[in-house]
């Protein structure tokens, strides 16, 4: 079946530090991959997505590249801000099947 | 409306009572999902619909939980004989088509359920 594994949190960084949140997946066929973000007190919203191998999704300075050879979709940002403090969820969607979410990684950025 | 809406936004109930949670998906979205999120936890998948059909009910925690969708639009999640462990935020999401994996899910604001 389909599954998503994320690095365990919480992750605490200082402002302007480099961020990587690892995400790997197991799936048959050609799933689409997503990162969702949940800011404190808010609902989940899409951060970025990639629909085929080698695609790079990007938004708000965040990037993730769909790597089929390593079944990964790691989230990166070169310089985090306090406002990036949130919970980040990696997810996949496969043809005709339900979305699968990872457990979430809580990021705290300190000034 | 423009987004997914859920009602009520907050529900406080007594143990043993039944509750009904409602989700209005984005117009035209054929796929609808229910999740549960306990405080500080990840998403727990409950059930999804393609149209009015629910192909996978395995995520429902017990037979006290049921869900239906009518007219390919509004969905209700019913919890009978609520227990304190049912307290959580119940999230609904919709996407254009389950058969299109590139379609993102759009989430509603959630219903916060508190069972006393």
Q: For residues A82-104, give the mean pLDDT.
A: 88
pLDDT of residue A39: 93
Bridge partners, B33 (sequence order): B48, B93
Measured at the alpha carbon of residue B88, what is the angle toward residues A33 and B10, in degrees to the nearest 5? 110
Residue B84 has pLDDT above 70, yes or no: yes
- Interchain CB contact of A32 with B (< 8 Å): yes
Mutate to test the interface with A, among B93, B98, B101 (most CBs of A within 10 A): B101
Confidence of residue A96 (pLDDT cuts 50, 70, 90): low
Confidence of residue B76 (pLDDT cuts 50, 70, 90): very high
Q: What is the pLDDT of residues B94-103, one digit of tens each?
A: 998 777 777 8
Q: How far apart are CA A7 and CA A103, in angstroms?
A: 9
Contact list in A for residue B101 (CB cut-off 8 A) is 30-32, 51, 93-95
**Tokens at A57, concatenated:** 């999704």
Confidence of residue B1 (pLDDT cuts 50, 70, 90): low
Tell which B residues from 28 to 67 touch A, by Cβ distance under 8 Å: 33, 35, 41-43, 45, 48, 56
Lowest mean pLDDT among A92-101, B52-61, B76-85: A92-101
| Contact yes or no for A91/A12 (Cβ under 8 A) | no
Mean per-residue pLDDT over chain B, rounded: 91
Indicate the residue of B35, B91, B101 with minimum beta-carbon distance to A94.
B101
SS3 letters across chain A: CCEEEECCCCEEEECCCCEEECEEEECCCCCEEEEEEECCCCCEEEEEEECCCCCEEEECCEEEECECCCCECCEEECCCCHHHCEEEEEEEECCCCCCEECCCEEEEEEC
Q: What is the pLDDT of residues A24-60, one digit of tens each?
A: 999 988 899 999 999 988 889 999 999 999 999 999 9
Confidence of residue A7 (pLDDT cuts 50, 70, 90): confident
């Amino acid at each position: 079946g389909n599954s998503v594994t994320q690095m365990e949190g919480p992750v605490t960084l200082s402002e302007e530090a480099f961020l990587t949140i690892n995400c790997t997946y197991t799936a048959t066929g050609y799933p689409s991959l997503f990162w969702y973000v949940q800011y404190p007190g808010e609902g989940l919203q899409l951060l970025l997505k990639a629909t085929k191998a080698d695609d790079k999704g990007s938004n708000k300075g965040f990037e993730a590249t769909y790597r089929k050879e390593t079944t990964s979709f790691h989230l990166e940002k070169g310089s985090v801000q306090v406002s990036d403090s949130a919970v980040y969820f990696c997810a996949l969607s496969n043809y005709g099947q339900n979305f699968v979410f990872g457990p979430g990684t809580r990021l705290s950025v300190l000034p | 409306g423009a987004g997914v809406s859920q009602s009520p936004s907050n529900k406080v109930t007594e143990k043993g009572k039944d509750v009904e949670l409602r989700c209005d998906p984005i117009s035209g979205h054929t796929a609808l999902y229910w999740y549960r999120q306990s405080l500080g936890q990840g998403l727990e998948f409950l059930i999804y619909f393609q149209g009015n059909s629910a192909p996978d009910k395995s995520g429902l925690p017990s037979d006290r939980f049921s869900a239906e969708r009518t007219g390919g639009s509004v969905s209700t999640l019913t919890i009978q004989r609520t227990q304190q462990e049912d307290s959580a935020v119940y999230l609904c999401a919709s996407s254009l088509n389950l058969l299109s994996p590139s379609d993102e899910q759009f989430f509603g604001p959630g219903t916060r359920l508190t069972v006393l």
